[in-house]
Amino acid sequence: MANPQVNVCGLEFRNPILPAAGPPSKDGSALQAAARGGAGGLVTKTISVHPAQVPRPCMAEIRGGMLNAELWSELPKEQWIETEYKMARETGLPVIAGLGYTAEQIRELAPMVRPFADALELSTHYVGSSVAPIVEALRAAKEAVDVPVFMKLSPHPNIQEIALALEDAGADALVMINSFGPCLAIDLESGLPLMGGKDGFGWLSGAAIKPLALRCVYDAARVVKIPIIGVGGVTSGRDAAEMLMAGASAVQVCTEAILRGPTVYARIARELDTFLDEHGYASVNEISGLTVRRMRQRGAPHAERAPKVNAERCTLCGLCEKSCPYGAIHQNKEAKILEIDEERCFYCGLCVTRCKLRAMSMAL
Ligand SMILES: Cc1cc2nc3c(=O)[nH]c(=O)nc-3n(C[C@H](O)[C@H](O)[C@H](O)COP(=O)(O)O)c2cc1C
């Protein structure tokens, strides 16, 4: 069995699947449930100097994920210090404490939280995309505490610039990405936004943002050497494997844990393990950053062969035939095989990704 343990900045996680800041980490009880549900370590909901005034409604399931208008914790910092962090520590798992936002706020919060935290995670969500205030928040934390400081990035447009500046300024690790927005979803009965608040805007999370998260992790991993914790749209062990390959050393999960409950961590860790075993990898570390390494060798590829069909896996369901824009796929009903017309095939690759039985493959 592949070794599931990972070490990020000296923190030993029993597996690489952690809850992300949000409802799955909203208080001590939720964190204890995450531990029972198999999380490899804990990340606590972002707190700030004042409790958040959260607009309602603040969560909606939409196709591909969720919209949320949550801010940071609605619990006062004193409650976290008196009760919630202690409950997190009782689990025996490493605890990463989420804090926000400005340097001044971090200066106040970091020393208070330090006795309960193995690392801090500073959210940049309300700090903007300018480098200076993000770096100032990091410096405030580094001056105040001796534990590793992880910087949680939103999907900023200048992600490499911010990642590099944070590494230079002493960040111990990056966590990316936060939810994407602002976005809008409308209730068709009332014509009003599904989210409360002034504009009715929400932030997108879940499966829909996975490609954005992967790109951000990959982009950062290409320029920095510090570890990255990947978050955004992970719902399965295969998603986690993708995140690790893009450059992450561990993975956080929020939306999937909200929608399916705290047992998702063990399930995702188990599925990741199965993937590693099936592919002959000895450890999680072996696939961490694999895409970055392979892309350095590869250059720009150009597929020049039509996909191949694995007849043993193909059930002739017709999905690929229906959606081939070039009319290159046909079922030979008599021979009960799928035929690909090499002349017509554009090597676009769509059929390979549509086939959920993985009966088609294409050389990359
Ligand atoms: C309802 C909700 C509340 C969240 N609250 C926080 C928060 O307090 N601090 C933070 O850094 N990220 C917060 N996030 C963002 C998540 O931690 C995570 O970065 C994002 O949702 C992408 O991961 P996912 O696709 O697995 O949900 C929140 C997300 C959701 C859905």
- 200 C-alpha to center of ligand 1: Å? 18
Question: Residue 339 has what DSSP assignment?
Answer: E
User: Are 67 and 96 members of one domain?
Assistant: yes
Please state, rounded to an integer, the average pLDDT across all residues of the chain. Answer: 96
- The pLDDT confidence band at residue 158, using thresholds 50, 70 and 90, is very high
Domain end marker among 246, 264, 297 = 297
Between CA 262 and CA 254 the distance in angstroms is 10
Residue 245 lies in a domain: yes
Asked if residue 335 has pLDDT above 90, the reply is no
Domains held by the chain: number: 2
Residue 303 lies in a domain: no
Domain end marker among 297, 324, 344 = 297
Cross-strand bridge partners of residue 13: 6
Could you tell me if the CB of 135 is within 6 A of ligand 1?
Answer: no
Residue 51 lies in a domain: yes
Could you tell me if the CB of 209 is within 6 A of ligand 1?
Answer: yes
User: Are 170 and 236 members of one domain?
Assistant: yes
Tens of pLDDT, residue by residue over 162-192, are: 999 999 999 999 999 999 999 999 999 999 9
User: Are 357 and 257 members of one domain?
Assistant: no
- The pLDDT confidence band at residue 305, using thresholds 50, 70 and 90, is confident
- 20 C-alpha to center of ligand 1: Å? 6
Residue 16 lies in a domain: yes
In sequence order, what DSSP letters do the residues of 94-112 get, joined into one string? -EEEEE-S-HHHHHHHHHH
Asked if residue 1 has pLDDT above 90, the reply is no
- The pLDDT confidence band at residue 23, using thresholds 50, 70 and 90, is very high
So what's the pLDDT on residue 344?
A: 96
CATH number assigned to the domain comprising residue 137:
3.20.20.70
- 73 C-alpha to center of ligand 1: Å? 11
Q: Ligand 1 pocket test: pick from 251, 253, 254 the residue with the most ligand atoms within 8 Å of its Cβ.
A: 254
So what's the pLDDT on residue 300?
A: 77
User: Are 11 and 38 members of one domain?
Assistant: yes
Q: Looking at ligand 1, which residue's alpha carbon is closest to its atom 10? A: 21
As a whole number, mean pLDDT of residues 271-279 equals 98
User: Are 25 and 122 members of one domain?
Assistant: yes
As a whole number, mean pLDDT of residues 92-117 equals 98
Asked if residue 302 has pLDDT above 80, the reply is no
User: Are 165 and 199 members of one domain?
Assistant: yes
User: Are 152 and 33 members of one domain?
Assistant: yes
Continuous H helices in 94-190: 103-113, 131-144, 159-168
- The pLDDT confidence band at residue 9, using thresholds 50, 70 and 90, is very high
Tens of pLDDT, residue by residue over 29-82, are: 999 999 999 999 999 999 999 999 999 999 999 999 999 999 999 999 999 999
Which numbered atom of ligand 1 lies nearest the CA of 178? 19
As a whole number, mean pLDDT of residues 297-325 equals 90
Asked if residue 275 has pLDDT above 90, the reply is yes
Asked if residue 121 has pLDDT above 80, the reply is yes
Domain end marker among 264, 297, 330 = 297
Task: Output the pTM of the full model.
Answer: 0.96
Residue 45 lies in a domain: yes
- 291 C-alpha to center of ligand 1: Å? 25
Residue 249 lies in a domain: yes
- 212 C-alpha to center of ligand 1: Å? 15
Which domain, by its residues, includes 21? 6-297
As a whole number, mean pLDDT of residues 268-291 equals 97
As a whole number, mean pLDDT of residues 267-295 equals 97
Could you tell me if the CB of 145 is within 6 A of ligand 1?
Answer: no
Residue 78 lies in a domain: yes
- 42 C-alpha to center of ligand 1: Å? 14
User: Are 62 and 138 members of one domain?
Assistant: yes
Could you tell me if the CB of 207 is within 6 A of ligand 1?
Answer: no
So what's the pLDDT on residue 218?
A: 98
Tens of pLDDT, residue by residue over 201-253, are: 999 999 999 999 999 999 999 999 999 999 999 999 999 999 999 999 999 99
Q: Are 120 and 147 in contact (CB under 8 A)?
A: yes
Dihedral sign computed on CA atoms, order 19, 25, 31, 34: negative
CATH number assigned to the domain comprising residue 319:
3.30.70.20
- The pLDDT confidence band at residue 283, using thresholds 50, 70 and 90, is very high
Q: Phi and psi at residue 127, in whole multiples of 5°? A: -105, -15
So what's the pLDDT on residue 363?
A: 82
Which numbered atom of ligand 1 lies nearest the CA of 121? 11
Could you tell me if the CB of 232 is within 6 A of ligand 1?
Answer: yes
Q: Cis omega before residue 57 (within 30°)?
A: yes
So what's the pLDDT on residue 107?
A: 98
User: Are 254 and 177 members of one domain?
Assistant: yes
CA dihedral 8, 10, 14, 15 (to 10 degrees): 0
Share of the chain above pLDDT 90, in %: 94
The residue whose two tokens read 């590099």 is 164
Q: Phi and psi at residue 100, in whole multiples of 5°? A: -145, 155
User: Are 126 and 232 members of one domain?
Assistant: yes
Asked if residue 364 has pLDDT above 90, the reply is no
Residue 1 lies in a domain: no
- 249 C-alpha to center of ligand 1: Å? 19
User: Are 290 and 315 members of one domain?
Assistant: no
So what's the pLDDT on residue 26?
A: 98
User: Are 292 and 328 members of one domain?
Assistant: no
Other beta carbons within 10 angstroms of residue 278's beta carbon come to 9
Q: Ligand 1 pocket test: pick from 179, 201, 209 the residue with the most ligand atoms within 8 Å of its Cβ.
A: 179
So what's the pLDDT on residue 120?
A: 98
- 203 C-alpha to center of ligand 1: Å? 9
